[in-house]
Chains A and B, each alone.
Chain A
């Protein structure tokens, strides 16, 4: 494996290797060994052409705990905002000797373009591209589910997961559907018809329009953010109506299975897709998802960069 662009790049066994490695790294970091020398001398560039808090600092923390050198590069304050092309940026990074580029970009497919051309030789890690994929988020979600609900199993066989909300614009949902079904979970998407993507009937999932029917049947419920920045049309009549039908509130939390967990990739719109008491309830693992994210990203960086350099393209 040279790049991580899509969950489709991973076999089931590779995905499980990432989760196992992350579990071991989490155990080491929880103990007294905070920093590992594994990536000493390697340079990792965080190229963020779109705003991000969690993913960027999570990748930065992961790289630093593995002793890599990190260069942060965001659209604001760089030549990207002067209209520099992706190609020129990539060649600049190559000239500076970047061993890996973690890229977040508003255009779907930008990481593929970076990896598929000969612009640079380093590994490319997709940290979210447009409305396409966000593989490291799906891996940390699967890790969190396995830790809480896996009962010691390697995969997620038989687990029932609901993903609720803005599926249409969500790269998190796309990557999660691919990964969770690969690991044996059963996924139900819950959204108003306007927020479901075209062709969703060909996905390996169940679709529902009624959150209250789905709630008592799941082991994990993942609420998605309403992505106002990508909404250029009117997808639902009002925020209040959306909250009433598709928001997670106290009554719905009480209707969940006793062991079910509440997840959200962040950032949350409190009061819209999730109420404050749902987000802060004892069932919520939203804050833990962030700390799991560091371990999972350490595993990704170690497995992509820790060994001998791989020549050639994907896999």
Chain B
């Protein structure tokens, strides 16, 4: 197992993503960040904090659980639901930025787009991820990427965040069968 993104690089990547989002949408007023639980939600909170530090306001931030919209529900035992918290302004007419930790097959993001479609019609939807590891199975790409990490399918990428795992780092390990 080796560390591919240590804590200082991770916080720099988060600040850079915050700047890129602000640049794309000319400020924070029309942006709603929606993190995909668990780690995506914490990353969304951190990006929001970075945006607030730059702009001085309060960017809208929430969470979006994709469990009920997944296409692999039938292949495993039902999972407990995670919170969906939409900011009071809703998503209608907003620039929604979905936030997740790792972009892999793209299926989670497809489920998130479906869940979002049930809630309302945002003006636009974009995607921010901390790590893009490749191997997409759907035509989905990230707009804001912390770090591109080329991997083989069997390798295991693990994002650790202080809020959940007690430490900030991204590691890569040789996987067995996956």
Contacts and interface: CB of A to CB of B under 8 A. Distances in A.
A17 interface: yes
A86 interface: no
Contact of A25 (B81, B82, B118): B81
Contacts of B78: 302-303, 306-307
Nearest to A35: B118
B163 interface: no
B115 to A, nearest CB: 7
Given A303-B78, A308-B74, A308-B75, 13 more contacts: A20-B80, A24-B65, A27-B83, A27-B84, A28-B68, A32-B118, A32-B119, A33-B119, A36-B68, A36-B69, A306-B78, A307-B78, A308-B76
Contact of B81 (A21, A31, A33, A35): A21
Contact of B119 (A20, A24, A31, A309): A31
Contact of B83 (A24, A37, A38): A24
Interface in B83-122: 83-84, 86, 90, 114-115, 118-120
A21 B68 CA distance: 11
B120 to A, nearest CB: 6
Nearest to B116: A33
Chain A interface main SS type:
loop
7 contacts: A20-B80, A20-B81, A21-B81, A24-B81, A302-B78, A307-B79, A309-B74
Contacts of A309: 74
Interface in B62-78: 65, 68-69, 73-78
A271 B11 CA distance: 66
A32 B90 contact: yes
Contact of A38 (B73, B77, B80): B73
A128 to B, nearest CB: 24
**Sorted from nearest, which 7 A-B pairs have the closest CB atoms?**
A307-B78, A24-B81, A306-B78, A307-B77, A38-B68, A36-B68, A33-B118
Given A27-B84, A28-B84, A37 B75 contact: no
Contacts of A307: 73-74, 76-79
Interface string A31-57: 111011110000000000000000000
A33 B79 CA distance: 19
B68 A17 contact: no
Contacts of A27: 83-84
A205 B136 CA distance: 57
